[in-house]
Amino acid sequence: MRFIKKNYGWFIVTVLAILPLFILANFLEVEYASGFAVSLKESAENSDQSTIELLYHISGEFAIRWMTAVLSCTPFFILFGVTNLYVRQAMGIATAIWSIIHFIIFCAAEGFLETFTQVNYMAGFLAVLLLVPLLVTSNRKAMRRLKSKWKKLQSLAYIIVLLSILHVAILDKTWIIYAIIVGLGFILRIPLIKASIIAFRKRRLE
């Protein structure tokens, strides 16, 4: 019980990251007649998009949502002073896993070589590649071994989010929402602005 209380944030993030998998499962058909077989439904109900297009959209949306959430942790601390944001690590893992799922769906439908045919595809592929080392080193053992290099490695997240926004910008106008959120987060990180907000927050508490 003490373990659960101490790590409740991880459990919440894990549940939120797993739940959308049930949405993806709705697009699958399981057959038992001639043995166990899993296939995609021929078409998506109540939608003018194909099943594979919906899978692209859903997995990609969750990937960039988690990424935006990760980059919003520091601005959240600056604005509200909440320090126990250790769930950021769990959010980062969720981001990487959903991005990899998104890429796997793409390769299964279009083929790996299709990755290099368009700028947005290449941007997305580079983002996934950069996420892999962050995923592999998202543990205490890696943090102790890499020490100060670990933080430098984690700074790749800024490049990844820019590549991700470029990826969806060419595909869908909803990228503007994520760009605004991330952009405001970067503004709050500016030392002068950050110091002013923290000082104002402290004066309010006095």
Tens digit of pLDDT for each residue in 135-178?
Answer: 888 877 888 888 888 888 888 888 888 888 888 877 766 677 88
What pLDDT, on the 0 to 100 scale, is given for residue 43? 57
pLDDT at residue 125 is higher than 90: yes
User: Closest Cα to residue 87, out of 17, 187, 142, 151?
Assistant: 17
Phi first, then psi, for residue 40 (nearest 5°) are: -80, 145
Helix axes 156-171, 51-71, angle to 10 degrees: 140
Q: What confidence category does residue 22 fall into, taking pLDDT thresholds of 50, 70 and 90?
A: confident
127 against 87, higher pLDDT = 127
Residue 128, Cα to own-chain centre: how many angstroms? 10
Beta-bridge mates of residue 30: 38
Please give the DSSP secondary-structure letter assigned to residue 174.
T
**Would you state the structure tokens that stand for residue 79, as one six-digit string?**
């604005």
Lowest-confidence range among 15-29, 46-60, 104-118, 152-166? 46-60
pLDDT at residue 128 is higher than 90: yes
User: Closest Cα to residue 157, out of 184, 119, 180, 127?
Assistant: 127
Residue 151, Cα to own-chain centre: how many angstroms? 18
What pLDDT, on the 0 to 100 scale, is given for residue 130? 92
Over residues 120-127, mean pLDDT = 91
